[in-house]
Amino acid sequence: MKQTRFKNSPSTISSRDSPNLATLPLPFDNLTTSLTIENNTILSTVLFNASAAANYTYSSLSIRGNPGLRLQAAAITPRNTSDKLTPIFPWPQQKMASMVFSGKFDNAFFASFVDLWNAKDAKDTKARPAVGERFVLVESTLVREEFNCQGLNGLRRKGVFRGEYSCQGGTVEVENGVARNGMESWLWEFIGFVVWLAWV
């Protein structure tokens, strides 16, 4: 079957305040800057390009205020050669600047992100997403008591989320020896040592 190529794929997609939008298809090969899906009152489905040509490398992601939307995600998004759309959310496998979530997100959705980092197979860990400036899960509106931030908090301690971090209103610190504001802690210690030498 011949594949369709979307040569004019937008670098940025923004869907905000659309009261009549029930399904949002994103059949693009490339999405390189940002994806924003906010305040769409009846949106229930987002469809992503499942073709082998799809390349989602956006650096900014915001999904919030969509009360009817419940996304699925997988550590490795299924790809095929028939250009069909899939409801499986693709995690960009690279460093990102910002991720903000609020809505019907369960443990399984974020477990797929955690799995990308905890995978023992080297083939699965060559390109893993990280967030440099901001990661915020405002609130999961399913059953708050059942949502567990443990997996995400573990990645925070490893330095996967190096800037602002919040999960369900709570936060944890990056572990010593891992990272501080995007710089390795040993580098900060070296800078401090040089400053100390300048004063003695």
One digit per residue, the tens of pLDDT, for the chain of length 200 reads 233 334 455 677 888 878 888 999 888 877 778 889 999 999 999 998 877 677 777 889 999 999 999 888 876 665 655 557 888 888 876 788 999 999 888 888 888 888 877 766 545 545 677 888 899 998 777 655 578 899 999 999 988 898 999 998 899 999 875 644 444 444 444 444 444 445 54
Q: What is the residue range of 125's domain?
A: 12-199
The answer as to whether 3 is a domain residue is no
**Does 6 reside within a domain?**
no
Residue 107 is predicted with a pLDDT of 86
In this prediction, residue 99 carries a pLDDT of 92
pLDDT (0 to 100) of residue 194 = 46
The three-state DSSP-derived secondary structure of the chain is CCCCCCCCCCCEEEEECCCCCCEEEECCCEECCEEEEECCCCCCEEEEECECCCEECCCEEEEECCCCCCCEEECCCCCECCCCEECEEECCCCEEEEEEEEECCCHHHHHHHHHHHHCCCHHHCCCCCEEEEEEEEEEECCCHHHCCCHHHHHHHHHCCECCEEEECCECCCCCCCCCECCECHHHHHHHHHHHHHHHC
Distance (Å, rounded) from C-alpha 157 to C-alpha 42?
Answer: 37
Answer whether residue 1 is part of any domain: no
Q: What is the pLDDT of residue 37?
A: 92
- Please state the pTM of the whole predicted model: 0.76
What tokens does 85 get? 């759309």
Residue 67 within a domain: yes
Does any domain span residue 7? no
Q: Is residue 4 part of a domain?
A: no
**Domain-embedded: residue 145:** yes
Within a domain: 5: no
Domains in the chain: how many in total? 1
* Beta-carbon contacts of residue 118 (< 8 Å; ≥ 6 apart): none
What's the pLDDT tens digit per position in 83-127?
Answer: 578 888 888 767 889 999 998 888 888 888 888 777 665 455 456
